[in-house]
């Protein structure tokens, strides 16, 4: 198989300390023995409620956190897009600096940075290049998320972790971002780890879906199966919470 | 049926730009009316106008808002104060910023009751217990601070505050947008249950047509400050006349969606 990410039985516990006495309580098992693989060019969708451990997995896979135990093999460069485009972009930096920062850190020269930043902003359909000298607050939520996507893609990663990339957006803006992510995946042969609490969105985006609850993946199935033939009680509960149109 | 709230030809400008243009809306007793639109369409301005809480920079050019036949713009401050909370109350989108972070949630509920009714402390505590029970929270939650509660619990507290004075109209401004879909369903089921029991009217503001389908009797679709389509929910869903209404319905991914792409605006 051509798995680009292989995660085997990873665990991450957080010590929960009492505020007043410093006495140790039971640890919070944020990620409690999770395994999955993602094939190259595919999307693995992770769905679950807040507190289920989805974002901890995003942080473990991107190396922001280190797992307590378990094995992870990741072939290629990885980058991340966060949920809230209002807090994930530095309000005091221009779009040029936000998107170009990671190239600057890598020591790329100025002209090349400018060239790459302009190209990637075009790709995420930020057409008007006046945006380069603007600040995040001058953009709408959807535009900010496009900028966040550009920032993640400017270093040409192989894998992108998308942690609730559309949950703070209007449904009509959401549609545009989801389409964009699909286009980019095809053009750039990206592999996605797509995280959301909304099964509709996960299903729309993913090839394989994992359902998470209390730090564990309770069900993994293909996009079609998870909807037409859910095996787990909790998956069925999530399905039943979705408003019907 | 006699309407409880009627908005007639309301036009409001901010800095010369029309944020509401010739808006007409009728709310019937015991019914749930939804206002659907994208951010910037004027939904929240409309709800603020109903409580006469528009920002100072806003200017009303024309129109009136009749609550039980009386124009709220003609009311004096005392009448308005009496209307807010007692007759019309509101639940905001973001429960974490709407609640006071340094006050126990129980006190925030009793504070509202004390501000509107002259009753004994003992009775207030009784009301508090009743309200917590109504929103399906246990009594010990009253001594918690907002940060100790989950998003869903905080929104239940907001609901308890809004319902503490038995309003005739409840305005819900994107009440579940900050919540997970499963918690969203719990909150919507709860609201619908209480509404059925107490028979007040709801003005439900949202950007999400799938929620409209769950809750509303009537739908108003807003775009750029105008109501571009309105009617009974079943009709709007079945055969929307306006292209934009259809777009708002179609842009939501559905379970078992066969589509590869979603329709985008413009």
Residue A20's pLDDT is 59
- The CATH number of whichever domain residue B144 belongs to comes to 3.40.50.300
Strand duo B218-223 + B32-36: pairing: parallel
Residues A142 and A29 placed together within one structural domain of the fold: no
Residues A151 and A172 placed together within one structural domain of the fold: no
Above 70 in pLDDT, residue A1? Answer: no
Alpha-carbon distance A187 to A100, whole Å? 21
A175 at interface of B, judged by CB pairs closer than 8 A: yes
Total domain count, chain A: 2
Stated pTM of the model: 0.89
Alpha-carbon distance A118 to B186, whole Å? 45
Would residue A81 count as lying in a domain? no
Whether residue B262 and residue A175 make contact (CB cut-off 8 A), yes or no, is yes
Residue B265's pLDDT is 73
Q: Which residue has the tokens 């990873």?
A: A10
Count CB-CB contacts under 10 A for residue B99: 20
Residues A48 and A145 placed together within one structural domain of the fold: no
Determine the residue of chain B that is closest to A48 in CA distance: B180
Are B61 and B52 spatial neighbours (Cβ–Cβ below 8 Å)? no
Whether residue B254 and residue A200 make contact (CB cut-off 8 A), yes or no, is yes
Above 90 in pLDDT, residue A192? Answer: yes
Above 60 in pLDDT, residue A22? Answer: no
Residue A212's pLDDT is 96
Half-sphere exposure of residue B133, counting CA atoms within 13 Å on the CB side? 6
Count CB-CB contacts under 10 A for residue B76: 8
Residues A97 and A196 placed together within one structural domain of the fold: no
Alpha-carbon distance A155 to B2, whole Å? 63
Structure tokens at B186: 């719990």
A145 at interface of B, judged by CB pairs closer than 8 A: no
Touching B: A residues 219-238, CB under 8 Å: 227-228, 237-238
Total domain count, chain B: 1
Above 60 in pLDDT, residue A95? Answer: yes
Are A3 and A39 spatial neighbours (Cβ–Cβ below 8 Å)? yes
Alpha-carbon distance B54 to A143, whole Å? 28
Tens of pLDDT, residues A51-74: 899 999 999 999 999 999 999 999
Q: Residue B238: which domain range?
A: 5-250
Helical (H) or strand (E) element with B243: helix B243-250
User: What ipTM does the predicted assembly reach?
Assistant: 0.84
Q: B184 to chain A: which residues are within 8 Å by CB? A: 241, 243
Q: A238 to chain B: which residues are within 8 Å by CB? A: 181-182
Cα–Cα distances in angstroms (integers) from residue B245 to residues A222, B1, B43, B239, B248, in the given order = 33, 27, 15, 10, 5
Q: B151 to chain A: which residues are within 8 Å by CB? A: 50
Alpha-carbon distance A106 to A83, whole Å? 25
Residue A128's pLDDT is 80
Residue A25's pLDDT is 66
Output the CA angle B90-B94-B97, nearest 5 degrees.
Answer: 100
Are B53 and B80 spatial neighbours (Cβ–Cβ below 8 Å)? no
Strand duo A191-196 + A43-47: pairing: parallel
Alpha-carbon distance A212 to B247, whole Å? 32
Structure tokens at A176: 């545009």
Q: Residue A21: which domain range?
A: 1-76+158-245
Residue A85's pLDDT is 79
Would residue A82 count as lying in a domain? no
Tens of pLDDT, residues A140-176: 989 999 999 999 999 999 999 999 999 889 999 999 9
Q: A204 pLDDT band (50/70/90 cuts)? A: very high
- The CATH number of whichever domain residue A220 belongs to comes to 3.40.50.300
Residues A177 and A63 placed together within one structural domain of the fold: yes
Please list the ranges in chain B whose pLDDT falls under 70: 1, 266
Residue A168's pLDDT is 86
Alpha-carbon distance B153 to B45, whole Å? 27
């Amino acid at each position: 198989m051509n798995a680009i990410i292989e995660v085997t039985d990873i665990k991450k516990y957080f010590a929960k300390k009492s505020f007043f006495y410093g006495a140790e309580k039971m640890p919070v098992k944020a990620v409690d023995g999770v395994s999955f693989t993602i094939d190259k060019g595919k999307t693995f969708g992770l769905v679950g409620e807040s507190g289920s451990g989805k974002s901890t997995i995003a942080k473990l896979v991107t190396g922001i956190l280190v797992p307590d135990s378990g094995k992870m093999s990741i072939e290629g460069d990885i980058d991340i897009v966060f949920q809230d485009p209002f807090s994930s972009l530095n309000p005091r930096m221009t779009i040029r600096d936000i998107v170009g920062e990671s190239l600057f850190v890598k020591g790329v020269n100025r002209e090349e940075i400018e060239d790459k930043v302009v190209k990637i902003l075009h790709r995420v359909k930020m057409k008007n290049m006046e945006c380069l000298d603007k600040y995040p607050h001058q953009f709408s939520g959807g535009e900010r998320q496009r900028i966040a996507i550009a920032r993640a893609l400017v270093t040409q990663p192989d894998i992108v972790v998308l942690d609730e990339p559309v949950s703070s957006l209007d449904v009509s803006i959401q549609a545009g971002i989801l389409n964009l992510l699909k286009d980019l995946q095809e053009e750039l042969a990206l592999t996605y780890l797509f995280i959301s609490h909304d099964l509709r969105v996960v299903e729309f985006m993913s090839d394989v879906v994992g359902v998470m609850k209390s730090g564990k993946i309770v069900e993994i199935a293909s996009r079609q199966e998870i909807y037409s033939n859910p095996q787990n009680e909790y998956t069925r509960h999530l399905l039943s919470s979705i408003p019907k149109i | 049926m006699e309407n409880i709230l009627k908005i007639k030809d309301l036009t409001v400008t901010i800095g010369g730009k029309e944020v509401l243009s010739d808006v007409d809306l009728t709310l019937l007793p015991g019914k749930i009316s939804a206002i659907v639109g994208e951010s910037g369409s004027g939904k929240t301005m409309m709800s603020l106008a109903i409580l006469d809480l528009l920002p100072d920079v806003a200017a009303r050019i024309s129109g009136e808002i009749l609550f039980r036949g009386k124009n709220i713009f003609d009311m004096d401050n005392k009448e308005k104060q009496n209307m807010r909370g007692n007759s019309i109350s509101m639940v905001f989108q973001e429960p974490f910023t709407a609640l006071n972070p340094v006050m126990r949630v129980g006190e925030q509920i009793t504070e509202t009751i004390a501000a509107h009714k002259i009753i004994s402390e003992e009775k207030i505590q009784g009301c508090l217990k009743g309200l917590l029970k109504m929103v399906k929270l246990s009594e010990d939650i009253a001594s918690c601070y907002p940060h100790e509660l989950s998003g869903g619990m905080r929104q239940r507290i907001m609901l308890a505050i809004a319902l503490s004075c038995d309003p005739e109209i409840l305005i819900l401004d994107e009440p579940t947008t900050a919540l997970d879909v499963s918690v969203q369903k719990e909150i919507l089921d709860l609201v619908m249950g209480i509404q059925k029991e107490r028979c007040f009217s709801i003005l439900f503001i949202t950007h999400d047509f799938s929620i409209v389908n769950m809750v509303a009797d009537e739908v108003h679709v807003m775009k750029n400050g105008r109501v571009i389509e309105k009617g009974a929910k079943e009709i709007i869903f079945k055969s929307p006349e306006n292209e934009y209404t259809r777009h708002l319905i179609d842009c939501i991914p559905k379970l078992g969606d066969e589509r590869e792409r979603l329709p985008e605006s413009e």
